Structure 1
Amino acid sequence: MNASLQGDFKINGLSLRSFVNLSPLEAEEVRRWRNHPEIRRFMYNDREIDSIEHIQFIESLRESSHSGYWVVHEENRPLGTLSLTRFNPLHHHAFLGIYANPFDSTKGRGKRLMEALLALSFSHFGLHTLKLEVMEENERAITLYETMGFVREGCWRDYIFKEGRYRSILLMGILNETL
């Protein structure tokens, strides 16, 4: 089951291309997205990632049995990225990551990305539970997650220190049978 964490997929009319299968130009495009201020501000690590570090991260995924990262395209338009981390085949759960292409303002990108991630998680990988962590002030993401059926399961108060103050992290989850 884990070997396919590095595979490419077609789901709901979208193409999911594993980071490990990206060309150098595609990998650089993903790094540009990740370094965009609107993406970085909601990351635990909000510093800019250099190209060497990014390549090393992608190379580390080749050996990972617990993490998968994908770039998602609709036709030839890049919508954003998805990830499953802390993938646990014994307990049938994983944590998700998602961000939309910050250079594309098409409405509905987040929902399309989430629909693909839910289908990948529950239909392809057979997960029972999908979890996420989100900064409490990321209201747009929280609204999307709740619209998709995620529920708040807890809060890590003052969990990270950014920009001179502590920030709380909401824990959210969805069960396969919820859908």
Structure 2
Amino acid sequence: MASYSPKSRFSLLSHNELETVLNWRNKPHIRQNMHHQETITWTQHSQWYEALTNDDSRLFFVFYQNDRPIGVLNFSQYPSVPDTFEWGCYIGEDNAWPGSGLLLEIAALQFALEIESANALYAEVLSFNKSVIKLHTLFQYMPLEDGPSFVRDEEEHCVKRFKYKREQWQHNKAIVLNRLPKQICAAARNIEFEV
């Protein structure tokens, strides 16, 4: 792992970043871990952005690392549970800092449960996405009942569901961070959100 700790800034998506985000979203390794893995056209992407800008229940951040865009972090209010946020993320650049996935986990928990004071953070992961499931386990997410099964590439999979309550994060935060490499803990102190 790199010995320095980068600065992580999360800025709301602007029109200037749309092309970059679309290029990331259409990368094969990102599409394969999405519920909908079809290639997205510019027209579809523009319509999605228009809907996003008119929807107060969703927030879409671009993840800047030392002022360089490398990925996204998004939140939406969970349907029928107003005090719960659902979140998703991905790293779009291939040469991001080695601990960037861990920083996304920390940033999601901090934003939803500390900045926004939601009662819970909810996540869905496709069952073959083992690296993200491993991260959620490391951070001590509470597993929920599996979601619906689906078939992809002639194999059956399911949607793994997780929840993190605010009081659980308040109790676990120091414990979880102390288990991580020192560079990650240092970088976690350099996370900021521009809302």
The amino acid that maps onto 1:51 is: W
Q: Are 1:149 and 2:140 counterparts?
A: yes
Runs of 5+ in structure 1 lacking a partner?
Answer: 1-11
Listed as ranges, the matches of 1:13-162 within 5 Å are 13-19=7-13, 21-23=14-16, 26-87=17-78, 91-158=82-149, 160-162=150-152
Q: State TM-score, norm by structure 2.
A: 0.77
Q: Which string of whole-angstrom CA distances, capped at 9 and with x for unpartnered residues, describes residues 22-70 of structure 1?
A: 41xx211111111011100011110111111111111111110211111
The amino acid that maps onto 2:84 is: H
Work out the number of aligned pairs and report it.
164
> Deviation of residue 87 (structure 1)?
4.4
The amino acid that maps onto 1:36 is: K
Partner of residue 171 from structure 1, selected from 161, 186, 190: 161
The amino acid that maps onto 1:175 is: K
Q: For the residues of structure 2 that align with 1:108 and 1:154, how far apart are their CA atoms?
A: 29
**Aligned residues: percent identity?**
21
Partners of 2:70 and 2:96 within 8 A in 1: no
> Deviation of residue 149 (structure 1)?
2.3
> Deviation of residue 106 (structure 1)?
2.6
After TM superposition, the runs of 4+ consecutive aligned structure 1 residues lying more than 6 A away are none
Q: Return closer, same or farther for 1:161/1:90 CA change in 2, 3 Å cut-off.
A: closer
The amino acid that maps onto 2:157 is: R
Q: For the residues of structure 1 that align with 2:108 and 2:11, how far apart are their CA atoms?
A: 13
Partners of 2:144 and 2:162 within 8 A in 1: yes
Root-mean-square deviation over aligned CA pairs: 2.0
Q: For the residues of structure 1 that align with 2:91 and 2:72, how far apart are their CA atoms?
A: 6
> Deviation of residue 13 (structure 1)?
4.2
Runs of 5+ in structure 2 lacking a partner?
Answer: 1-5, 170-195
Q: Which string of whole-angstrom CA distances, capped at 9 and with x for unpartnered residues, describes residues 138-176 of structure 1?
A: 100101111122121110241x33334432111111111
> Deviation of residue 17 (structure 1)?
1.6
Partners of 2:9 and 2:67 within 8 A in 1: no
Q: Which has the higher contact order (CA 8 A, sep 6+)?
A: 2
Structure number, greater radius of gyration: 2
Partners of 1:131 and 1:171 within 8 A in 2: yes
